[in-house]
Structure formats: structure tokens, C-alpha cells
Amino acid sequence: MPPNLIPRPDVLQVGWGWFQVLLTVTFTAHILLMNAMFGGAVVTLLGAARPGTGGESVARDMAGRVPTLVALAVNAGVAPLLFLQVLYGHLFYTSSILMARWWLAIIPVLIVGYYAAYGVYYRYETPLRPLWSLLAVGLLLYVSFMFANNNTLALRPERWIAGFENPSGAWLNLGEPTLWPRWLHMMVGAVAVGGLFAALVQDTRARRGIEGAAAARDWALRFFTHGSLIQMAAGLWWLMALREDVMRRFMGGSPLASALLVAGIATGVWAVVHAFQKKVRSAALWLVVTVTIMAVMREIVRIGYLDGVFHPETLTVVPQVSPLILFLAVFAVGIGCVVYMLKLAFRAAKEG
């Protein structure tokens, strides 16, 4: 591959590890919220079609939550985008340009998807509800597929040549062997986690003694238990589809990668065991641990694919610590504000 295909990256102000940790932490937050949002939209679509069951109560509840989750997931996506562009921007922006038409379409598609999520809520009692629901799920699926395309393309500069031969920006990374299993793993996981999120809400209601909430919780929980079993198969497919040298890292080649794989599977299975026992809160806790481990594994995949092409440790550091200190201070204040805002919102909901 001609090395001049890869643009020259900018310099860093502090060591790359800071940005890598921030990227992984904020991506974990984004993906958890994206899961609650997308899974919530799917659960709403399917639950509403089962009148008189626990599914219907879940759908009614989630219809009101999905628009907020869209806003939260989108906002939580901006933070990893910032850190991604600091470390891998020269790769990510090139792949974004190669698929520019599809990529730029994300913005209008997402706006209509967000509108559709509100459509489900405000038109819940009308015959149009299933259409709004399908539209929301379909458009969110589009966005997720484009993210999977871009994230796989950014790792394979050798594939860019095919994209340069098709300079219209209407090109996608469809020939990439990991694309389909990776996307499937992301989105089956999202449905499973969305089910768990809905179950968590219903579990809280059941603890308050609200009638029908336990049945609604059990209905939603099945998305997590059954979805996670499919998810394991999708994960295995993704693992097998990885380039051999990267896959080998998880098969003993790298003690850290292999230990994370074992730990991720173990905590995931443990979360499902808790869910089968209807211990929703501990299932959610183990799920967060699992997703965090998987997010670190995803970074190992990224670094593995880019081996010999680029590693962020090769970036030049021109020390300038004050922006980082200011950022961390604002970050801490911001988190404090969000926690305070959520507290107020929960208190208002309780009083309501």
C-alpha cells in the first residue's frame, strides 16, 4: 500500500494514552445509550403489537423515553468523536470522505428518525403508530450501519484504493469481511440491552407495587436473555472474521487481549444468569462491566488492524498541559450538572 495514501496527523498536547482512555470511556457511554435508544425503539415496535400483555405496558412506557434517549445517545456520541479525531482523525476523515454521500446523509436521516420517535409517542393511539415506529427503527438502523461501515473502513487504508476509483462518495465498505458480523454484534446487542433497560424501568415500578409491572419486566427481560444468546453467536462470528493476526491476539497471542475476551464472555454470561433469575439490577451492573470490557477489546482490534500502518504512540507530543486540565475541570463540572439534572428529573417524575 502506498504510504502517501495516509494523511499526516496533527501533533498532541499530552501523551496519547489520555485520549485513548477518554475515547474508550466516552464510547462506552455512547454505546450504552445507543443500545437503550435503539433497543427501546425495537421493544416499542414489538410490544405495541401485543395488546393486553406486558409488552404493551413496556411499549407505552418506552415510547415516551426513546426521544430522550435519542438526544442523549447523539450527545454522548460527540465526545468520542472529539477524541477519535485527535488520535485517528486522519484515518476516520479519509474513510468518511470516501463514503461521503452516505455519511452526510446521516444528519437528515437522524433528524427524521428523531421526529419519528416523537411521532410514535404523540400518535401512539392512532393507526399511524406502527408506521412511525418502523420508520424510527429503520432510520436508526441506517445510521448504525453507516457507523459500522466507517469504523471498519478507517482501519483498512489498503481498501481505500477501491474507494478512490469510485470518487463519487457513494461507495461503501461492503466487501469488508468483518462488516456484517460487527454490525450484527452491535445491533443484536443493542436490542438485548434495550430490553434490559426496559426491564430495569419496569422492575423499579414493580418494586413500588405498580400492578402489571412484574409481567412487563419479565416480557422485556426476554429480549436480554434470548438476545444475548444470539449475541454470543454474532460475537463468535465477528471474532472468526477478524484478520488472522488480529484474531490470534485474542486466542493466546496477547495475554491482555485473551484475558479480556475470557473476562468479557464470563461477565456477559453472568449478566444473563442474573437476568434468568430476574435479578435485573445486578444483571444491569454486570452488563455495564461487559460492555466496558468489550469497548476495550474493540480498541485492541483497532490497534491490531492498524499494526504497521499507524499507532498513536508515534504521534509527536508538543507538551501543553493547561487545555487538558481545563477540559478535565469542565468535564467534572459537566458530569456534576448532569447528575444534578437527572436527580431533579427523577424527583419530578416521582412527584408526578
Residues that bind ligand HEM (CB under 6 A): 23, 27, 30, 34, 38, 73-74, 77-78, 80-81, 84, 110, 140, 143-144, 147-148, 151, 182, 186
Instruction: Output 118 or 147, the one with its CB closest to ligand HEM.
Output: 147
Instruction: Output 58 or 294, the one with its CB closest to ligand HEM.
Output: 294
Q: Which residues pair with 317 in a beta bridge?
A: 12
C-beta of 120: minimal distance to ligand HEM in Å? 15
Instruction: Output 104 or 325, the one with its CB closest to ligand HEM.
Output: 104
- Residue, CB closest to ligand HEM: 77
Q: Which residue has the cell 492498524?
A: 306
With the C-alpha atoms ordered 40, 42, 43, 49, is the resulting torsion angle positive or negative? positive
Q: What is the largest CA-CA distance in the chain?
A: 65
DSSP state of 12: B
Query: Under a CB-based contact definition with an 8 Å cutoff, are residues 23 and 7 in contact?
Result: no
Instruction: Output 26 or 267, the one with its CB closest to ligand HEM.
Output: 26
C-beta of 113: minimal distance to ligand HEM in Å? 7
C-beta of 185: minimal distance to ligand HEM in Å? 9
Instruction: Output 202 or 292, the one with its CB closest to ligand HEM.
Output: 292
The whole-angstrom separation of Cα 25 and Cα 83 is 10
With the C-alpha atoms ordered 77, 83, 85, 89, is the resulting torsion angle positive or negative? negative
The whole-angstrom separation of Cα 117 and Cα 64 is 9
The whole-angstrom separation of Cα 1 and Cα 306 is 13
C-beta of 38: minimal distance to ligand HEM in Å? 5
C-beta of 148: minimal distance to ligand HEM in Å? 4
